[in-house]
Each structure stands twice: as structure tokens, then as C-alpha cells.
């Protein structure tokens, strides 16, 4: 549009389609993370340091920092969206939005690449997957997850984490 190749009207007509396409691509990338979900489902079979070893070394689980960074990026987008809702973005705001979206993608990728080293980290990763499912599919994400290829893995992992958390509290 800035180069004069399309008009503002054409941009306004095409932008929702482009946005929907980007969202669907992100959903597909998220949905195809079956390797990570398989690893979570079989976490006891992977050689990781025990919680006692991790505490003795005083090294925090790397997935926790990655999750915190991603949640911060998500919050930044929520805050930004609240300031521009209901109006057209300026060029500077589009640039800002693009930077925030890039940070969201990068921090999500860092979470998926992180390997939890503690039970706390594994549980946090499952909860993070549920958090991302809710961002993607909305409040009714559990019903949508049941329809997806990897949804059963996520729901089963989340149920296990929730049951373990309840047992620790009892």
C-alpha cells in the first residue's frame, strides 16, 4: 500500500483475509507439535535430572523462563490491542504490532524448543499448551481440542497434571 501498488480500499478488503491466513498458519504450526506432546506423555521414559538434583544445583528449569517470556509477549499484545481497538492503525502502530507479533512467535518457539528438566517444568509446559489452546480456540478450547489430532494428548496430559497437583495439595 505504501508503494502505491494497492489502494486503501483494497488493503481494507484484503487485510482480514491475510490476518485469518496468518492465524490459521499459526494454528497449524501449533497443532502439528505432536513430538512435544508425545514427549510429555512419555516424560518418565526420558533421562532428566531429578527434582532433588535440580534443587541441589540451584538451576531453574529452562522452560519456566521461556514460558514467562512468552506470557509477557502475549500480555504485551493484549495491552497493545486494547489501545487500538475500534480504529485504524497508524503506520507506526502497524510497525509496533508487527514487532510484538514477531516477539510472540519467537517466544512461543522458545517454549516449544525448551526441554523441561523438572516435574514442575513438565507440568508448566502442559499448562502453557493449554494456555495457548485457549488463546487460539477461545474459552471453549477443550471442545475444539477434542476435534483436533493432538487434542487427546493435550487433554490427557493436562488431566494428569491437574490430578497430580490435586494430590500434592491433599
Note whether 147 and 161 are same-domain residues.
Answer: yes
Residue 22 inside a domain? The answer is no
Specify if 15 maps to a domain: no
pLDDT in tens, 119-164: 899 889 988 988 888 888 888 888 887 777 677 777 788 788 788 7
C-alpha cell at 4: 502505491
Determine the average pLDDT of the residues in 54-71: 80
Residue scoring higher pLDDT (166 or 49): 166
pTM: 0.58
Q: What is the residue range of 89's domain? A: 62-115
What is residue 63's three-state secondary structure? helix
**Total domains, the chain:** 2
Please check whether residues 83 and 123 belong to one and the same domain.
no
- For residue 153, give the nearest of 39, 7, 16 by alpha carbon: 39
Amino acid at each position: 500500500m505504501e508503494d502505491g501498488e494497492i489502494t486503501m480500499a483494497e488493503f481494507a478488503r484484503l487485510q482480514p483475509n491475510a490476518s485469518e491466513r496468518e492465524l490459521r498458519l499459526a494454528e497449524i504450526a501449533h497443532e502439528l507439535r505432536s513430538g512435544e506432546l508425545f514427549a510429555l506423555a512419555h516424560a518418565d521414559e526420558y533421562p532428566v535430572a531429578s527434582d532433588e538434583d535440580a534443587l541441589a544445583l540451584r538451576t531453574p528449569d529452562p522452560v519456566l523462563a521461556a514460558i514467562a517470556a512468552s506470557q509477557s509477549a502475549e500480555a504485551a499484545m493484549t495491552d497493545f490491542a486494547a489501545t487500538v481497538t475500534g480504529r485504524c492503525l497508524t503506520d507506526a502502530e502497524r510497525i509496533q504490532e508487527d514487532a510484538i507479533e514477531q516477539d510472540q512467535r519467537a517466544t512461543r518457539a522458545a517454549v516449544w524448543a525448551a526441554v523441561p528438566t523438572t516435574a514442575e517444568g513438565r507440568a508448566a509446559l502442559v499448562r502453557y499448551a493449554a494456555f495457548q489452546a485457549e488463546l487460539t480456540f477461545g474459552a471453549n478450547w477443550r471442545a475444539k481440542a477434542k476435534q483436533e489430532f493432538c487434542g487427546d494428548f493435550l487433554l490427557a496430559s493436562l488431566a494428569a497434571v491437574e490430578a497430580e497437583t490435586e494430590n500434592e495439595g491433599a
